[in-house]
Structure formats: structure tokens, C-alpha cells
Amino acid sequence: MSQVISLDAIATSGSTSAADMRAAMEKGGCSTSSCGTSDAQGDMPDHIWAKIKDHPCYSEEAHHYFARMHVAVAPACNIQCNYCNRKYDCANESRPGVVSERLSPEDAARKVIAVANEVPQLSVLGVAGPGDAVYDWRKTRKTFELVEKTLPDIKFCISTNGLALPEVVDDIAQHNIDHVTITFNALDPEIGAMIYPWIFYKGKRWTGRDAAQILLERQLDGLERLVAKGILVKINSVMIPGINDQHLQEVNAAVKERGAFLHNIMPLISDPAHGTAFGLSGQRGPKAAELKELQDAVAGGANLMRHCRQCRADAVGLLGEDRGQEFTLDKLPETIEYDPEKRRLYREVVEQERADRRRATEATKAELATTVAAEKKLVAIATKGGGRINQHFGHATEFQVFEVDAMGVRFSGHRRADNYCVGGYGEDDRLEIVIEALRGVDAVLVAKIGDCPRDRLAAEGIPVLDEWAFDYIESSVGAWYAAQAGQREEKARA
Ligand code: CLF
Ligand code: SF4
């Protein structure tokens, strides 16, 4: 078995020696007491790979190892989206939730150092609201300038609705901001008018079709200018059933043609409790199956991101986890010294880990190619990161889902589930929620599971297995599939 990694163990280790880091890794992750692209080096030019290889949103592989943090330095916005309530964060890049703590650029820079000292996975600093990162450009730029002085290796990333974008593209390029997200929901202004009630542009409020037309022209202009500067652009589109769902294939083709690096189709989150226009009008969001159907339909167009977690404008940590509450302003010391050692050592260890995992994945691919071609299967994984099956079933708040067939193992998406285990005790109603979240998967691979939930899931036709605990995800999923294929062959012979 390959070496066990626990990113938690590294992150919480106070030590900065390589040997101690390895020892911390080998302690393993799960307590046994209770419970962007799917890219790779070689698939793209080296200079592009260098930009995305540690970016958790732009590289599916990187999201197993690296973390982003957002600082909420951009409170103002110049448009209104029907899925947004300004009491909450910018819904173009984040899930409506608790209001972010607004930060000055100076406070934000202090927070980044505090996080970098505690979260060695940190590789990207993003500004994603709570309003628009570009409308409030001076604050966003100032934040990056301050952070750059202390952490020159961190990657900067911004998310914008695009209206104010064209004028700041030169500045973005000068500040080494390699990653920009534009939310682009419609090419057709009639459709856009159903999403944006108004925009504020050139000192005037515009509404209806005119507003949508200006916005989309500015978005496309911004995209083309960024691409011309060699900046990697991700397009976010919010999938709104009955409004733009049939239109997003066209959007995908249009942004691909203009050089977008990645397209992230996100489901509308619509809840009357959030007080958004769509929430209050009863506009529904897409079902998971509808989202997957659309994503599959656009496969072959612009590269798709399938691992977005719609995180908050003050999120901290690996995608899918949010440690923001550990770093609120009241918890930050007035002055903080940056200690680069922990991040440096973490990266060293991750490089070895990634190389090892890639070798294991290649071997799995070769093995799968020899299996009898059969239908695609879905396997859910409980993981805390590091590309391994290293989480107890009861501690999983989400499961990563992989597709497997004779062609190989591919990341397919994630399914959110409430923690089953609360204070060491399983709760039946929570287990029902997990079962619903896992419906349709063919197997679940976990680090550990109790007999009771295992039997309950088995009764629902969902086998949960812990025989690949702490192994790499791809090789384990491949081994599971090959074993299934072997059983199928045996049955066919009998
Ligand atoms: Fe933040 Fe966005 Fe940069 Fe990532 S998030 S600004 S590109 S660093 Fe990532 Fe979060 Fe999805 Fe955004 S998972 S909501 S895509
Ligand atoms: Fe809200 Fe963001 Fe839209 Fe502005 S761009 S209205 S902050 S979702």
C-alpha cells in the first residue's frame, strides 16, 4: 500500500521539520474510535500547467491538496442579479449564507498571514465579494499589493460580474493576477433581462434588455482582453431551469471560442429564506441529475469544472471545508510574523505524493483497459483530501463521486450530506439524508464504518466498503471495478 497521507495531520502539526511532517502524515487521518479540469501535466503547455497546478479551482487534481482563501474586501456591486440578496455574499461565486465580515485591505493582509501560518495547503488568495471584486477595484488591488510583499508565491484570483472589467484588464495583468472568473449567464439579452433587473453603468441605472445587452458586451470584451494578455479565465454560469438551462450549451460554445480556460456551471440556489427575487418568486434550482445532464451535454466544449463547492466570500480551506470562523478579526493578533517553513515543507511532501499517486493511477488505467468493457459505475468516496480514502463514513459532510469504466477513473462531482455521526452517536434521520444523497451510486469507499449504518445502506442496495482505507482514490476505485468485472466474467462462465 502507498504511504498514508493525512493533510489534517500536517496542517495541525506545530513542527516544521520534514521528518516530523512525514511522521505527522503517517499518523493517518481518521479516528478509528467512532467513526477544472481533470487535467494533468503533459495535457497542456508547461507555462499553463505552472499556473494551474496548485490552484484548487482550476485543477481538479490540485483540489485534493491545495486550499483557497477569500477576503471580503469588495462590498459594493454595480448590478443586481435576481438570485442575489445583498445582505448575503455575491451569489455569483458563493453560496448565500452568513454575511461575511467586511475587511479593509490592511486587515485582509493580516488575515492572510495568519491563515498562511496555520493552513499550509494555502495556495490561492481570492476576492469574490461580497459585492464585485472589480467594481471596487482599488480595494482589491491594494489588498493584493500588501499581500504580495509578504507572500510572493501566493496566486491571486478574482471573481467579477464583468461590467467594470474591460478598464482594469491592464492593471490585472500588471499585478500578476493569473486567474479571473467572469459570471456569464446569457448570450441572449432577452434571457439576460430575466436574470438582471438593472445595472449601474456610466452614472446611470439601466434596466431590461438594454441593461442585459450592455452587460453581456462588457463581459465578452473583458474575456477577450484577458485572454489576449494570457490570463486564465473561468466562466461561471448559474443554471436556472426554464430561463437559461437550454441556452448554456450556446454559452459554453461562445466562451470556448473566445478562449475561456474553464466553464463552471453552477446550480441556482433558491430559497425564499434568502429573500432573493428568484427565491421569493418560487423559481426552482436544478436537480443534481439535471445539472449532470447539462454538464455531460457540454462535454467536448469548453473544459468543465465539476468540483465547485459554491463557497462563501470569506471561505478558508480546502474546497468543501470552511475554516473561516477560525480566522475572524477578533481572533487575529495585531501584528503577525509570517513563517514560510510549514508551507514550503508541505509543498515538498505534496510533490512526492502527487507523483506517487499519478503512477498508481496510470497502473490502474492499464489494468482497467484489460477488463471486459461494461457499463459505467459510480463510486462515492469519503475523503478529507490528499487524494486518499481517509475519512470515516460518519464524519463525511460530502462524498466525492467518481465514474469508472474500462477507460479509467474520472472525477464526476460531489454529493453533500449532513454528518451522520454527532458526538460519536449516529442519528437515524441524518442517516436517511446520507442515504438519499448516495442514491444511484454503485459503491461507497470509506476509511471506516460501523456495522449498523453499513447494514442499513446495504439494505438500500448501496454497499459500503472499507477494505481500501487510506489508499489512493483512483487505484481503489479501479480495483473495485476490476473485482466487479471478475465477478461478472465468473458469472458469465458459470
Ligand atoms: Fe475563489 Fe473563485 Fe478564485 Fe476559486 S472559488 S475566486 S476561482 S479561488 Fe472555486 Fe469556490 Fe467554486 Fe469559486 S470552489 S465558488 S469556483
Ligand atoms: Fe449580487 Fe454578485 Fe450579482 Fe452583485 S454580481 S448582484 S453581489 S450576485
Residue 4 clears pLDDT 60, i.e. is over it: no
Residue with CA at minimum distance from ligand 1 atom 8: 126
> Do residues 469 and 389 make contact, with C-beta atoms less than 8 angstroms apart?
yes
Q: Tell me how far apart the alpha carbons of residues 143 and 302 are, in angstroms, rounded to a whole number.
A: 31
Instruction: Outline where 27-75 has alpha helix (H).
Output: 46-52
CA of 110 from ligand 2 middle (Å) equals: 26
The pLDDT assigned to 428 comes to 67
Closest CA to 147 of 226, 63, 71, 233: 71
CA of 82 from ligand 2 middle (Å) equals: 9
Q: Which amino acid is at 194?
A: M
CA of 247 from ligand 2 middle (Å) equals: 21
Task: Tell me how crowded residue 402 is: count the other CB atoms within 10 A of its CB.
Answer: 24
Task: Compute φ and ψ for 149, nearest 5 degrees.
Answer: -65, -35
Helices (H) and strands (E) in the chain, counts: 15, 18
CA of 243 from ligand 2 middle (Å) equals: 18
The pLDDT assigned to 318 comes to 92
Q: Which three cell numbers stand for residue 337?
A: 510574523
Verify whether ligand 2 is closer than 6 Å to residue 161 (CB atom).
yes
In eight-state DSSP terms, residue 448 is B
pLDDT average, residue stretch 141-157 = 95
The pLDDT assigned to 21 comes to 37
Ligand 2 atom closest to Cα of 78?
Answer: 4
pLDDT tens column, 433-442 = 899 889 999 9
Residue 213 clears pLDDT 50, i.e. is over it: yes
Q: Which three cell numbers stand for residue 332?
A: 487575529
Which tops the pLDDT comparison, 88 or 277? 277
**Is the bond into 241 cis (omega within 30 degrees of 0)?**
no
pLDDT tens column, 24-81 = 333 333 222 222 555 566 678 888 999 999 999 999 999 999 999 999 999 899 999 9
Q: Is 261 exposed, middle or buried (0-12, 13-18, 19+ CB in 10 A)?
A: buried
pLDDT average, residue stretch 252-279 = 92
Q: How many residues does the chain have?
A: 494
- Give, in order, the Cα–Cα distances in Å from 170 to each of 140, 165, 225, 379: 15, 10, 9, 45
DSSP string for residues in 426-483: E-HHHHHHHHHHHTT-SEEE-SB--HHHHHHHHHTT--EE-TTTTSBHHHHHHHHHHH
The pLDDT assigned to 261 comes to 95
> Do residues 109 and 147 make contact, with C-beta atoms less than 8 angstroms apart?
yes
Verify whether ligand 2 is closer than 6 Å to residue 134 (CB atom).
no
Site residues for ligand 1, CB cut-off 6 Å: 57, 68, 70, 93-94, 124, 126, 128, 157, 159, 179, 181, 234, 264, 308-311, 319
What is the pTM (predicted TM-score) of this model?
A: 0.85
Task: Tell me how crowded residue 110 is: count the other CB atoms within 10 A of its CB.
Answer: 22
Which tops the pLDDT comparison, 16 or 157? 157
The pLDDT assigned to 299 comes to 79
> Do residues 216 and 184 make contact, with C-beta atoms less than 8 angstroms apart?
yes
Please list the residue range(s) of the chain that carry CATH number 3.30.420.130: 341-493
The pLDDT assigned to 424 comes to 44
> Do residues 302 and 262 make contact, with C-beta atoms less than 8 angstroms apart?
yes
pLDDT average, residue stretch 331-350 = 92
- Locus of grid cell 489534517: 8
Verify whether ligand 2 is closer than 6 Å to residue 78 (CB atom).
no
Ligand 2 atom closest to Cα of 80?
Answer: 6
Is the domain covering 341-493 a CATH 3.30.420.130 domain? Answer: yes
For a pocket test of ligand 2, which of 132, 182, 238, 276 has the largest count of ligand atoms closer than 8 A to its C-beta?
132
Distance of CA 298 to the CA centre of its chain: 19
In eight-state DSSP terms, residue 74 is B
Q: Which amino acid is at 333?
A: P
Nearest ligand to the C-alpha of residue 311?
Answer: 1
Diameter of the chain measured on Cα atoms: 78
Which tops the pLDDT comparison, 171 or 302? 171
Ligand 2 atom closest to Cα of 131?
Answer: 7
> Do residues 126 and 158 make contact, with C-beta atoms less than 8 angstroms apart?
yes
Pairing of strands 79-80, 198-201: antiparallel
The pLDDT assigned to 68 comes to 96
351: helix, coil or strand? helix
CA of 61 from ligand 1 middle (Å) equals: 15
Residue 371 clears pLDDT 70, i.e. is over it: yes
Which tops the pLDDT comparison, 22 or 252? 252
Verify whether ligand 2 is closer than 6 Å to residue 132 (CB atom).
yes
The pLDDT assigned to 416 comes to 84
The pLDDT assigned to 39 comes to 57
Q: Tell me how far apart the alpha carbons of residues 205 and 227 are, in angstroms, rounded to a whole number.
A: 29
The sheet carrying 304-305 orders its strands as: 304-305, 262-267, 232-239, 179-183, 155-160, 122-127, 67-70, 316-318
Verify whether ligand 2 is closer than 6 Å to residue 91 (CB atom).
yes
> Considering the chain, what percentage of its residues have pLDDT values greater than 90?
63
- Locus of grid cell 515538498: 348
Please list the residue range(s) of the chain that carry CATH number 3.20.20.70: 36-331
Least confident of 41-55, 81-95, 266-280, 304-318: 81-95
Verify whether ligand 2 is closer than 6 Å to residue 79 (CB atom).
yes
> Do residues 402 and 412 make contact, with C-beta atoms less than 8 angstroms apart?
yes
Q: What burial letters (b/e) apply to 61-81, b meaning 16+ CB within 10 Å?
A: bbbbbbbbbbbbbbbebbbbb
> Do residues 197 and 82 make contact, with C-beta atoms less than 8 angstroms apart?
yes
Least confident of 26-30, 138-142, 232-236, 465-469: 26-30
pLDDT average, residue stretch 328-341 = 91
Residue with CA at minimum distance from ligand 1 atom 4: 57
pLDDT tens column, 411-448 = 988 888 765 554 444 556 778 889 988 999 999 999 99
Superfamily of domain 36-331, CATH level 4: Aldolase class I (3.20.20.70)
Mean pLDDT of all residues belonging to the chain: 86
Residue 191 clears pLDDT 80, i.e. is over it: yes
pLDDT average, residue stretch 367-394 = 89
Residue 97 clears pLDDT 60, i.e. is over it: no
